Structures are given as structure tokens and as C-alpha cells.
Amino acid sequence: MIRVGIFGASGLAGGELIRLVVQHPELELTFLGGNASAGRRPAEFHPGLRLDLGLTIEPVSTNLAGRCDVVFLATPATASAELAARLADEVPCVIDLSGAFRIQTPALHDRWYPDVRRAGGLADRFVYGVPELIGDQLPGAALISLPGCFATAITIGLAPLVIGLGLNLKTVVVDGKTGSSGGGLSLRTADLHPLRNGAIAPYAPAGHRHAAEVKDFLERSKPGGIDSLSMSAYGVSHVRGLMASSYVFTDDEVDARTLNRAYLRFYKQRPFVRVRRHNETLIPVPDPQAVLGSNYCDVTVLHDEEGGRIVVLAALDNMVKGAAGQGIQVLNLRFGLPEETGLTMQPVMPA
Amino acid sequence: MIRVGIFGASGLAGGELIRLVVQHPELELTFLGGNASAGRRPAEFHPGLRLDLGLTIEPVSTNLAGRCDVVFLATPATASAELAARLADEVPCVIDLSGAFRIQTPALHDRWYPDVRRAGGLADRFVYGVPELIGDQLPGAALISLPGCFATAITIGLAPLVIGLGLNLKTVVVDGKTGSSGGGLSLRTADLHPLRNGAIAPYAPAGHRHAAEVKDFLERSKPGGIDSLSMSAYGVSHVRGLMASSYVFTDDEVDARTLNRAYLRFYKQRPFVRVRRHNETLIPVPDPQAVLGSNYCDVTVLHDEEGGRIVVLAALDNMVKGAAGQGIQVLNLRFGLPEETGLTMQPVMPA
Amino acid sequence: MIRVGIFGASGLAGGELIRLVVQHPELELTFLGGNASAGRRPAEFHPGLRLDLGLTIEPVSTNLAGRCDVVFLATPATASAELAARLADEVPCVIDLSGAFRIQTPALHDRWYPDVRRAGGLADRFVYGVPELIGDQLPGAALISLPGCFATAITIGLAPLVIGLGLNLKTVVVDGKTGSSGGGLSLRTADLHPLRNGAIAPYAPAGHRHAAEVKDFLERSKPGGIDSLSMSAYGVSHVRGLMASSYVFTDDEVDARTLNRAYLRFYKQRPFVRVRRHNETLIPVPDPQAVLGSNYCDVTVLHDEEGGRIVVLAALDNMVKGAAGQGIQVLNLRFGLPEETGLTMQPVMPA
Amino acid sequence: MIRVGIFGASGLAGGELIRLVVQHPELELTFLGGNASAGRRPAEFHPGLRLDLGLTIEPVSTNLAGRCDVVFLATPATASAELAARLADEVPCVIDLSGAFRIQTPALHDRWYPDVRRAGGLADRFVYGVPELIGDQLPGAALISLPGCFATAITIGLAPLVIGLGLNLKTVVVDGKTGSSGGGLSLRTADLHPLRNGAIAPYAPAGHRHAAEVKDFLERSKPGGIDSLSMSAYGVSHVRGLMASSYVFTDDEVDARTLNRAYLRFYKQRPFVRVRRHNETLIPVPDPQAVLGSNYCDVTVLHDEEGGRIVVLAALDNMVKGAAGQGIQVLNLRFGLPEETGLTMQPVMPA
């Protein structure tokens, strides 16, 4: 059994990690860390979780040498930056769910995460990326940074164009729509149910740091692949799941058949990416409700001939493939387990 | 009192028209028309409506000469095309809420409404447009076609750029998000609550006829203003209200201050368009929940310098400013009443 | 014009009062009071509200002598208790929306509102009650206490049995279901959208102070009418509107026809109470969505022969008939205006 | 591997069964049956389901002798009645999810299921009941009838009082609240999203057949335990999950401590029933959102001293513990597998 610790155990992402670790046949939960929550039981914060976990949340200062084979940081970026510096020497593997180590280019990082100071050289030691793209870097990795929820969907959506087909994308306009769970459980008036239900909330109408993250990564993976990428993000009236729509303009020649084949080929061996036709089931897909609770990312590519553009839609559960589930997927690859271990749960739909 | 008739009285738009006519001090409801619903009381179809209206739904074949000063067609486009041909000679004014007469260019109409045959010459006699832009054509008009719900929001959002500032827009990418009331009450499995709640449904992922309508209108209003306009539309998990996001690329010089001033100036005298700053209230705006039940259209313009684009957000209640309310607004202007008569109801929020 | 002041102008009930005062033809808004919000514009707190009100929120300590003919207290019960004591001498009429003066029996008040101290004799000077029942006490009243949202629905539901038919109700079991707006905008983790959406939250599973209020009132109105009344309350997954179900056991003889006639007769002259048959429209009624945004209370009575009980269902909009709208209704009666003045807005449905 | 067939494969309950069979380590899906859906792939009807199941839906007339060890009937009661008669001789075990064989007393069955004719003697051969109560009858059973979703929650809630403590319950008033998935995907106007979202729909205000089922079962299990049981049921504004509130009046002596202990003891060895304190986590429990997607039934008992009653709240996922999950649980017990096999998935919350 691989011994797992989780920092940020009282938050939403921490709770989702507990859920998935509990369901995983090869993992043993040996540490839960929190500050304000230290000394309390995880079920106090996670109403659905089985009640007999037998663990109490411990202070984050607890030394984990010899107690954990891997730890997840489900903490704010500022806390993750500090914890990673310490834990790098304490446990064999650290997987960070925050934005602290996602953007590798220092100037870009400083612009989008001005409050997050990273210890010298630490950022360069992190492996970052969607596991479908950087899986070969994971076995044995000591420090891993998980992509943001939107960044995961956008990257999975664009990679077959940029990396698979080698297109040059002149302009990419991303419109992101997400449920309220993306904002966690911080107390903000605008996130109270009366104001959030029924909303279309343009919370990041002219720029989002997940777009910077995608550009930084894809530019390293395939220099010159994308000229311009802009993004706007909206909160809509459900809880779990997001959709990233990428509207792509290119001068390269493409057609619908080539596109669809390229996507199918690119993700042929990837169990968690499902390339789907828009009308193959009784609701239009992709739709995040069709992946709810699962680690799937559903992708559809369309050629809008009249609009002169490619439309790429990618939907995932921001708590699973966009956070905790992708964390387990990465853990599996890091420790040499089959990629799907503990992640075979099917979508819970309708819900 | 102006005598009003409504065709399609048992549908959602018909019900909303009844609501607004009942609340209007200068209107008298004298006819409700329906086919399957003929002989029944409107309250059977509209659970909220006051119970003592004293009217029964009559067959659509009823002759209205001398009974109505104006009729609304809240009917499907095919039915509207037929009814308009007949009623043009029967009543002084016909206001059509369907898409039958929105696109004036015949080839474009035939492409998006292949089933809707319009009697020879009839389409040319219709006045079409958002009343904020074509108000001077309304007094005394005999035939009026109301813009679609998304078309209203997009046009209100783009007009200050194209008409007000005279910019040339190279590329406009529209992302539309709407609630389920936009689909009416037809029985479709995908619209049942279990499948529609929690959805982000890409029902028109690569093209929407409201975009064609906007292009057709703006090209007539300001030839050459827009080079390319594409659209994708999504159903999200609420009932009433929509947002149209227009991502605009232009080679012309603009800055945030110029943009904001241009919008304020353009809509200075227009009571139903509110130009708002994104962060002026406790939720980000525009948001359709902040106009629910009212005839307002809220608009915000942002300059995304890094993305090299203008972001225009427009939110409205698709049942009111996107349909019945705009119909009453147009009626007011047609009959010389003050524009706000009967439309001063404030948004019902939170709801 | 009657000059109106509102305390608690930044809260949900305060915002709803502003909405209704703005829509009312005989009222003029002359004062908005708040503490933390003093100096700010109401539109900062009420995203939907028209932007040009021309009023700024003032400190609650402002002297209102000569400025207001009536003030509403949309403040917490502790604040209302203090404000009422002061304002009783300052303005001709005070209408309190809080629970401070609802329960007149001192011991019962102290039990349910232990923190709310009422100045000596002040409570006895308040007129309390649903205006349908105590309307004759309102003209010229100086101090008025509005019933709670659930209390309004329960009282309207039970009054035809207790007062109209003079039945003795052995056991009344009330099950209340409400949307999230009932909880206001206080920052509580359980009220964040991710935890409140999809919930059936038993927040008051074995007792609710609105039940105490109803018992206190009905016992005064009709001593011995009800032997036992218990209540449980739940938050469900919408925002606005509530339903109170009263399951009534009596040894007196009744049948369905008698019941239905009694309800129709009891509310015959009351414009805001609609006695409805359960299956008279395309959804089962009463349903709070069918009164949304309006001042209606819909009531249905059923005789469950097999269960040996009477089922009374009452639905209303907790923000309107359950709070601000009832406040305006009471104001109308207090100042001799027709009861429906400014309250003729029809339900906004679907929403 | 146990070979499983599912009739009604295109419906909601059928889809949920497929989900759980796919996740189960000891089950192999060998047959999917449907009528209108025959010849089509299950993914057409179940948007979330993994795409590579390799099965096509077959006609219901298919002979299953030698192909299935057990079949589930996720069909309407009329169809189940016919299928069960045929399949009783064709396969070793039939598990029916419909209401066809739930009520054993013939007169009571005929009253609540007048259209469902049961072949002579067939009903008596069915084992019926919540597995927590009738588990010892399941090993080797040939015909099993699963309780209804509400019936499961009510029975689990009342059994510790009636069977555990042996109380005589004078009056039980049940108030049931459920999401829209309980109604399946039949096309009904009232179930369209615009009319169902935001609703509190009193669809069974004065009687529900699940109450008849509970009375019939408990009267057999413990004659005289309950004198009167009545029920009302409501659809509320979410999709998945229900709550059954039982308000219980008894002349027997009880107190809070005795009650709580009795519940803990009664369900001590039952992995799927969680006896919870009302305030033990950050939302009030039980709440169906805290069991979403899982096979748990959460139960809380409260003593309302002032109301002179016991309040029992039971929440479950109507698709899992209320239908498909309970079916798998029963299958496990029928075939001698550990009760939790394939059912260890944790609740997906928030969702």
C-alpha cells in the first residue's frame, strides 16, 4: 500500500481527495493536515464521507518523514509554496493542486501570482502538465504540479491541433463556464446561494490565469504553435463541472474529417479522454453533467465552415479530472500503477 | 385604451405577453388565440396568472377586424408567416415575435428558415430592429418583426462600436448562454428537468440563426462594419435570462475610456439599456439575474489589452426584453405612448 | 405622496421594500438607513435596482421627524426592538418586519427570542397579524408588527378552519419548505452555493418560532381552536418562495365540499389570497413558483379521507407576501389606500 | 462472475443499474433488454456511460435461459408483472424494481395498482423488503421485489421504533420530498425544466402508494405497530435524492437518549444505514446531498418534547439506495457475496 497524506483536508479539494483515496485499492490514508481544523475529524467538514475513517486532522507542521510516500497539497498557492519547500526533503513525492508551481516562466508567474514567492530553483524541479501529455516524466518524479481545472480542459482541447496536427493557431478565444464548486468554501457574499443560483457571473471577463498557464506550457511544448490566446470565465448556476470552449482561427487548411480523426488518434490510448460526436446521445455533448464524479474529460471538435473557425469543446468535473482525480491519475503513473487504478467510477448522471 | 390580441396564448411567450398587458395602464386584452387550446381559459396554461381575466382562448381563425388595434404573434415562425399575411389586412398593427420576418435578405432567410415561406413582398413591409436603434420607424407601422432574444443582446452590445464609434470589426466571436425558458414548453427529452438541470448544453455549437439576423441588420445599418461574426450557444442551468458575450477584434485604435464613454453616450436617452461597470455592485455585472422580470438590458464593455480585444457583455431577460417586454416597448412607440409605459417593473432579485 | 423610510436598506428585505416602493404610485422614498452601509448608494447592494434613485444610505441615528410618514424596519429583531422604542415618538407609523414584536405573550416571546428585550409596554401597543385577518385594526395604527413568512402562510391556511368553520383542531403538524432567500445574506458556510444547491436541509427539524407565533395569535383570536401545533422546516434548492403544509386532525365532522366552500367564502373579498383546486393548471398547485414576485398567497385544501385528516397547502413568495409586499399591503390599509395599490404585479413565471 | 441482465435498459433506473454493474467486481453484464430501444447502443440513452460496453439492446422477448443468472426488471409495473411471470421459469433469479409485487395484500394492491394484473399465486412467491430487515430471506431467493424509494426511507426510519423498541405508533404523518429523477424520463409538460426548476410541486398531496406499501409490510412484520399512517409527497428543485420525514405520535414513553441508542443499536451491523446526529457536520443532516451517488441511507431521530412527537428523518439517493443500488445490495445477499461488494463508492458531494 502507498501511504498518502493530504494537506488542506478540510477544504473541498481535500475532501475530494479523501473520497478518491478511500475508494482506491492501493492507497492508504495516513495523514490529514490542516491548521484551523487540526484536532477535528474529517467528517465534520465533509458531510458525505464515511464516518469511520479513524483519522483526525493534524497540524500542518507535523513531520511526515517515514509516514507518507506521497503528499497532496490541497492548499492555497501561498501555503503550497511554503509547504513544498519544506516537504521536498521530507517525503518522496509532493503533488501540488494549487497554482504555485504551474507557470514556470518567472515573469509570467509573478504577474499572475504576485503574492506567491517560490524558493530559489524550486519551480524548475516541478513536473507540470496534463498526464495525457507529460506522462513519461512522471515515474519517480519528486515534485509534481497539477494543471488548473480550466487549464486541463483547454490543453486537452488544443493539444491535438497544436501538437497532433502541428497547426499554427493565429487566434484562440476561450470561453469558460464553471459551477460554483470551483470557488471553494471561502465566505464571499457573491457566492451565497441566493446570489449565485440563477447567475451567469462574469467573474473573469477579460483574462484568466489558467490561460497564461496554458500558453506558458504549450509554448514550451511546441514553440510558435499559438500566436494569441485570450480567455473569459463565467460562473453558471450549477455546482460541479466545467466546459472550456476554444474558438480557433488558423490560416492552415483543415476540414471536419481531418479534425475528427486527429482527435481520435491523439487520444486513442488515453482512457480518460473521450472524443465524442456532438449528437451521439440524447443530450448534446460534451456536457459536464455526463462526466460528473468521474475522471473523464469529454472532447468534441467541430469545423464551423461559415465562421471560418474550429470549435473545440472540452468538459470535465473540476473536482475530479480538474483536481483530485487527476492527482490520483498522476500518482498512479508516478508509482507505476495502471493509470485507471481507483478511477473507474462511472459518471453519476443525472444528478 | 388600445385593444390587444395575442396569438399563441397558451405558450410561454404568450403568457408573458398576457402578464405585461394586464400590468399596462393603457392596454385592454380583447383576444386570445390558439388552436389546440381554443375553448380553454388562459389560467389553465399559465399557473401564476390572475384567475379572473374573463377571457377564453378562441380559434386562430377568428376575424379580428374591429376587435383589435394590435395583435401579437407569439407563434412558431411557420404559423406567423401565414397569420401575418392574413392579418395585415385585418388589423392596424401586427407585431411578430417569431423569426419569420427577421432576416430580410431572401437567400439568408431561406438558409436559416427553410420551412418558412413568406408571401411575396410581405417581408419588405416589415419594420425590424431593436427599438433603441429603429425607434423612428415605429410610429404608425403596420407590420413589425421583433429581433430574437440573443439578437437583441448582441445588437445592443455591438451597436455603439459599429454605429456609435464607426469601428471596423474584423472578427466578432459571440458566445451565448441562456436558460431553459428559451426553448419553450415543447416536449423534448433533453429538456426534461433531470437532463437539463446542471447542464452546460452546447445546443448550437457552431452557428446560430440569431447571428445571421444580427449580421443582416448591421450590414444594412452600417455597411462594412463587421467583417466576420460567428456564434456558439449554450443552455445553462437556470430558467430565465441570457448573456451574450461578444469578443471583438479590430485594427482600429481604442482604449478603455473611449469605449466606456461611447457606450454611455450611445444609450444616454434609452431607459431600458443600462451601461454598467463590471464591479459596481456586489456581484459581477452584467448578470441576467439582475434584470429578471424587467425590460432592462445591462451592458458592460471591457478593453482586454493583453488579449488585444474588446469584450462586450450584454444580459437581458429573454422573456421580457428578449420577447414580450420588447413587444410592449415597440407597441408604446408605435402608438405614441411614452416608451416606459407599463414597463417600469423592477427586477425580481434574488429569485 | 406618503413619505417612506427604510431601515436595513442594504439587506434582502430592505432591497425588496425599495423595489416595491419604487413601483408604488403613492409612495415617495425619502430615507434609507444603515450602519455599515451608511454613505453608500443602494445600487451597490441591490444589483437589479434602478441606478438613478438619487438617495444615499444614511446612518440609522438620523432623526426622521418631519421626513417620513412611515418607516419600515427591515432589521434584525434586536435592532428593531431598539429602533421601535425610539421611532415610536419620531414618526407617525412604524412597520417592523422582524420577529421582535410578533409574539405578544411575554413568556413565549422570551423563550423564542431570548436576546430581544422590548421596552416596557411597547409590545402591547403593536398591532400584529395577517392583514386579511386584522385589517380593521390597521387604519391609523402607529406600531405594526408583520407576521413571519411561514407564519403568514400557516395562518392563512388554518384561519378558515379555526375561525371560519370554528373547528377544534386536535393536532396540527406543519411541514415548511423554503428557498434560500429566507436566510438573508449573512455569511454562513452552509449557505454557500455549493452546499445549499441540491440540498434538503432540515434546519429546524423539531420546532420553529413561527409556529409559536401562529399559536399565540390564533389562541388570542379563537381560544381553544388548536390543541397542539408542531412544526419542522427545511431549506430546499431554490431561492424565492415557500410552502407551508398543515396536516390537520380533528374530531369534528368535515367533508371535501364543505372545506372547499369554506375557504372560498372566507377569502372571497381578499384580493391576495387565491383559493385554488390542486389540478386546475398544468402544474400541481399551490406552488410558490406560481406566485413569484407577486403578493399572492395561494391556498389549497384537501380532505384525505383515508388518512383521516385535512391537508392545507399554502404557498407564497417569502420576500413579498411573506415580508415586503405584505408590508406595503399593510401600509395601504393603514393610510386608507386601496389594498392593491402598487401591488398588482403579476407572478414572474417561469423563472 | 455472475451474469446479469437488465430489462428497461434505456430508462433512468436501467442506466443506473448498468453503472453499478460495470463498477462491480463480480458481475458481468450479459443482456440489455428494451422494446423501442432494441438494436441501439446503451450509450445513446446514457450520456455519461463508458462508450465501450460492447453490448446492444435486445428485444425483451429474447430467451435468457442459460444467459443470465439474474435479471433486473427496471420496467413499468405493468410490464414487470408480465415479464416476471415469464422469467420465473427462465432464469434463477428475478429482481423487480417496479411496484408490481410490493404490496402483497391483494385488495390493497388492486387499489393502488388497478392496472397491474399479477398471475395467480405469483405475488406470494416474491420476497419483498428492505434488505436490512429481510436479509435472511434473500439467499437463494428466486423472485425479489424491491421497495419503492420513499418506502425504503420510511421503513428504515420507522423500523427501530416499531420493531426495535416495539412502540405502538398512534399516528404517523409522512412528508416526502424528492428530486425530479424520481419521475423518470417520460414526456410530461410539468416535468420540463422551466416548470420543474424552482418548484415545490405537491404531486401527491393527500396519499401515496409507497405509504400503503410500508403499512402493508410493517403490519406483517409487527402486527399492530402502527395505527395510522398518512403521507404527502412533493417534488422539489433538484434532481437526485429524497428525504422522508416521519412525524410520529405515540402514547408510549420515550426520551431522546433512548431513541438515539435504539437507532444506533438497530443499525449497528448495517453498513449502508448511517445513524447521524443532526448537527455533526457543517450542514444539517440528514440531507440527500450527503449520500449522492452512494448506497447510504442517513437517518436522524429527534425527540420534539414540546410538540409531543418523535421526528424521524431519512435521506437517500432515490436512484441508488432507493432503486439500483439496493438492487445490487440484494443481489449480493442473494448470491452470498459480501453485502458491500461493488457498493463502496463514496457520496459525490458537493454536486
The cell 456581484 sits on which residue?
Answer: B283
CB-based contact, A260 to chain B, within 8 Å: no
Contacts of C261-265 spanning 24+ positions with Cβ under 8 A: C262/C160, C262/C161, C262/C164, C262/C165, C262/C301, C263/C160, C263/C164, C263/C299, C263/C301, C265/C164
Which of A191, A287, A298 is the best substitution to test chain B (most B C-beta atoms within 10 A)? A287
CA A159/CA D263 separation, integer angstroms? 55
| Residue B113 cell numbers, joined | 428558415
The pLDDT score that the predictor gives to residue C297 is 98
CB C214 within 8 A of CB C230: no
What is the Cα D92 distance to its own chain's centre?
22
Counting as contact any 3 or more CB pairs under 8 A, the partners of D are A, B, C
pLDDT in tens, C252-305: 999 999 999 999 999 999 999 999 999 999 999 999 999 999 999 999 999 999
Residues of D in contact with B239 (CB under 8 A): 193-194, 197-198
| Chain A / chain C CB contacts < 8 angstroms | 55
CB proximity list for C344: less than 8 A, separation 6 or greater: B23
CB proximity list for C268: less than 8 A, separation 6 or greater: none
| Residue D238 cell numbers, joined | 433538484
CB C213 within 8 A of CB C147: yes
| Residue C289 cell numbers, joined | 413558483
Give residue C341's identity as a one-letter amino acid code.
T
Of residues D16, D171, B248, the one with CA closest to residue A173: B248
Residues of B in contact with A312 (CB under 8 A): none
CB contact under 8 A, D290 and A47: yes
Residues of A in contact with B179 (CB under 8 A): 198
CB contact under 8 A, B283 and A195: yes
The pLDDT score that the predictor gives to residue D29 is 97
- β-strands D309-316, D297-304 pairing: antiparallel
The pLDDT score that the predictor gives to residue C50 is 86
Identify the segments of chain A with pLDDT beneath 70: none
Told to judge if A297 belongs to the known catalytic residues of this protein, a careful annotator would answer no
The pLDDT score that the predictor gives to residue B51 is 80
- β-strands A127-128, D309-316 pairing: unpaired
| Residue A36 cell numbers, joined | 484551523
Q: Round the average pLDDT of chain D to a whole number and report it.
A: 97
CA A77/CA A98 separation, integer angstroms? 5
ipTM surpassing 0.95, yes or no?
yes
Counting as contact any 3 or more CB pairs under 8 A, the partners of A are B, C, D
CB contact under 8 A, D348 and A348: yes
Residues of A in contact with D291 (CB under 8 A): 48
Quick one: residue A129, left, alpha or beta (phi over 0 = left, psi -120 to 50 = alpha)?
A: left
Counting as contact any 3 or more CB pairs under 8 A, the partners of B are A, C, D
The torsion angles phi and psi of D227, rounded to 5 degrees, stand at -80, -45
Q: Nearest C-alpha of chain A: how many angstroms from D190?
A: 18
- Nearest residue, CB atoms, C189 vs list A183, A187, A196: A187
Of residues C145, C141, C137, the one with CA closest to residue C81: C145
CB contact under 8 A, D190 and C283: yes
**What's the Cα-to-Cα distance from B257 to each of B25, B168, B262, B301, rounded to whole Å?**
41, 18, 8, 10
- Nearest residue, CB atoms, B185 vs list D181, D192, D198: D192
CB C102 within 8 A of CB C128: yes
Beta strand residue intervals within A97-253, DSSP E? 127-128, 143-145, 169-178, 201-204, 226-235, 242-250
Q: Chain A residue with minimal CA distance to D276?
A: A51
Residues of B in contact with D241 (CB under 8 A): none
pLDDT in tens, C317-344: 999 999 999 999 999 999 999 999 999 9
Residue A187 CB coordination number (10 Å): 12
C184-200 mean pLDDT = 97
Residues of D in contact with B180 (CB under 8 A): 192-194, 197
The torsion angles phi and psi of D36, rounded to 5 degrees, stand at -65, -25
- Name the 3-class secondary structure at A120: coil
CA A325/CA A290 separation, integer angstroms? 16
CB contact under 8 A, C203 and D284: yes
CB C81 within 8 A of CB C116: yes
Is the preceding omega at residue C350 within 30 degrees of 0, hence cis? yes
CB C288 within 8 A of CB C180: no
CB contact under 8 A, A197 and B315: no
pLDDT in tens, A262-315: 999 999 999 999 999 999 999 999 999 999 999 999 999 999 999 999 999 999
The pLDDT score that the predictor gives to residue D321 is 98
**Which residues, numbered 298 to 337 in chain D, qualify as contacts with chain A under a Cβ-Cβ cut-off of 8 Å?**
none
> Any idea what DSSP says for residue C50?
-
Q: Chain C residue with minimal CA distance to A47?
A: C195
Residues of C in contact with D247 (CB under 8 A): 173, 175, 230, 232, 247
Give residue C234's identity as a one-letter amino acid code.
Y
pLDDT in tens, C30-82: 999 999 999 999 999 999 998 888 899 999 999 999 999 999 999 999 999 99
Q: Nearest C-alpha of chain A: how many angstroms from C185?
A: 7
CB contact under 8 A, C180 and A192: yes
Element (DSSP H or E) covering residue B80:
helix B77-87
Q: Nearest C-alpha of chain A: how many angstroms from C253?
A: 44
Q: Chain B residue with minimal CA distance to A199?
A: B289
Residue C114 CB coordination number (10 Å): 8
Beta strand residue intervals within D251-341, DSSP E? 273-275, 297-304, 309-316
pLDDT category at C129 given cuts 50, 70, 90 is very high
**Which residues, numbered 221 to 240 in chain D, qualify as contacts with chain A under a Cβ-Cβ cut-off of 8 Å?**
239-240
The cell 500518482 sits on which residue?
Answer: A331
Which of A193, A283, A316 is the best substitution to test chain B (most B C-beta atoms within 10 A)? A283
Q: Is the pLDDT of residue C167 over 90?
A: yes
The pLDDT score that the predictor gives to residue A222 is 96
- Nearest residue, CB atoms, C284 vs list D201, D288, D315: D201
Q: What residues form DSSP beta bridges with C28? A: C3
pLDDT in tens, A176-223: 999 999 999 999 999 999 999 999 999 999 999 999 999 999 999 999
CB contact under 8 A, B283 and A237: no
DSSP B122-156: TGGG-EES-HHHHGGG-TT-SEEEPPPHHHHHHHH
The pLDDT score that the predictor gives to residue C174 is 98
CA B196/CA B183 separation, integer angstroms? 11
Residues of A in contact with D348 (CB under 8 A): 19, 48, 240, 292-293, 348, 351
| Residue D323 cell numbers, joined | 432503486
Of residues D166, B216, D203, A315, the one with CA closest to residue C243: D203
CB A294 within 8 A of CB D293: no
CA D147/CA D61 separation, integer angstroms? 26
**Which residues, numbered 163 to 222 in chain D, qualify as contacts with chain B under a Cβ-Cβ cut-off of 8 Å?**
179-181, 183, 185, 187-189, 191-198
| Chain B / chain D CB contacts < 8 angstroms | 55
The cell 460534451 sits on which residue?
Answer: A286
Residues of B in contact with C293 (CB under 8 A): 293, 348, 351
Question: Residue-wise pLDDT tens for chain B (351 aa)?
Answer: 999 999 999 999 999 999 999 999 999 999 999 999 999 999 999 999 988 888 999 999 999 999 999 999 999 999 999 999 999 999 999 999 999 999 999 999 999 999 999 999 999 999 999 999 999 999 999 999 999 999 999 999 999 999 999 999 999 999 999 999 999 999 999 999 999 999 999 999 999 999 999 999 999 999 999 999 999 999 999 999 999 999 999 999 999 999 999 999 999 999 999 999 999 999 999 999 999 999 999 999 999 999 999 999 999 999 999 999 999 999 999 999 999 999 999 999 999
The pLDDT score that the predictor gives to residue A51 is 80
| Residue C218 cell numbers, joined | 390564533
CB contact under 8 A, A200 and B247: no
Identify the segments of chain D with pLDDT beneath 50: none
CB C172 within 8 A of CB C229: yes
CA D40/CA A252 separation, integer angstroms? 38
CB contact under 8 A, D180 and B197: yes
Residues of B in contact with A304 (CB under 8 A): 206-207, 230
Residues of C in contact with A185 (CB under 8 A): 189, 192, 194-195
Which of B44, B274, B281, B343 is the best substitution to test chain C (most C C-beta atoms within 10 A)? B281
Q: Chain C residue with minimal CA distance to B240?
A: C351
- Nearest residue, CB atoms, B189 vs list D187, D198, D239: D187
Residues of D classed as catalytic: 149
Give residue B229's identity as a one-letter amino acid code.
L
Of residues B87, B77, B132, the one with CA closest to residue B110: B77
CA D24/CA D17 separation, integer angstroms? 10
| Residue B330 cell numbers, joined | 415597440
- Name the 3-class secondary structure at B94: strand
Residue A83 CB coordination number (10 Å): 22
CB A129 within 8 A of CB A137: yes
CB contact under 8 A, D187 and B185: no
| Residue D174 cell numbers, joined | 409522512
Q: Nearest C-alpha of chain C: how many angstroms from A230?
A: 28
